[in-house]
């Protein structure tokens, strides 16, 4: 039973990270993979958090690791997942991978992705899930290893 609870916690954390990524993409007005302070304010409002301009500036300073005045997806996820008590996006990688690795073979297939997303009620087709896996599959074996999974997240 502890395993099930652990899986649910992993799935909940992963679901929250997916929700944050969707919010980031929705407010990245020019689709350049970076958000400004005003875009961050919009994201926070869409997530139900009323924040002042001063709070947005403080969040930008806190999250902007490379000090370019913008937040990348990675910086945004690191900042928001730490603030949510999830320990940062890096700490979610292994549990997220394991949550998707339904059969425990240390690689992800389109079918596994489909099964997990269906349980999360994400409504993606098997074909969509297979296409996602194919886009992440660098060695062409039709599967995604942890290293391939990590490389995608690291590129955010």
Q: Which residues partner with 108 through β-bridges?
A: 144
Q: How far apart are CA 107 and CA 105, in angstroms?
A: 6
The answer to whether 134 and 152 have CB atoms below 8 angstroms apart is: no
Tokens of 43: 């994201």
Fold of 2-89: Recoverin; domain 1 (1.10.238)
* Chain position carrying tokens 């979610």: 92
Residues present in the chain in total: 156
90-107 pLDDT, tens digit per residue, is: 666 777 788 888 899 999
Domain 101-154 has CATH 1.20.1440.230: no
45-102 pLDDT, tens digit per residue, is: 888 888 899 999 999 999 999 999 999 887 888 887 776 555 556 666 777 788 888 8
The answer to whether 70 and 109 have CB atoms below 8 angstroms apart is: no
Instruction: Provide the 8-state DSSP code for 35.
Output: E
Q: What is the maximal distance between C-alpha atoms in the chain? A: 49
Q: Where, residue-wise, is CATH 1.10.238.10 in the chain?
A: 2-89, 101-154
């Amino acid at each position: 039973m502890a395993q099930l609870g652990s899986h649910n916690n992993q799935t909940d954390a992963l679901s929250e990270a997916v929700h944050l990524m969707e919010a980031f993409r929705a407010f990245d007005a020019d689709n350049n993979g970076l958000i400004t302070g005003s875009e961050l304010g919009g994201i926070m409002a869409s997530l139900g958090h009323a924040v002042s301009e001063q709070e947005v500036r403080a969040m930008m300073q806190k999250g902007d690791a490379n000090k370019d005045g913008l937040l990348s997806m990675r910086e945004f996820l690191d900042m928001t997942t730490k603030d949510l008590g999830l320990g940062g996006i890096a700490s979610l990688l292994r549990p997220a991978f394991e949550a998707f690795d339904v059969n425990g073979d240390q690689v992800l297939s389109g079918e596994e992705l489909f099964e997990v997303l269906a349980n999360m009620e994400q409504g993606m087709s098997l074909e969509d899930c297979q296409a996602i896996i194919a886009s992440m599959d660098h060695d062409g074996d039709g599967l995604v290893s942890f290293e391939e999974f990590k490389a995608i997240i690291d590129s955010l």
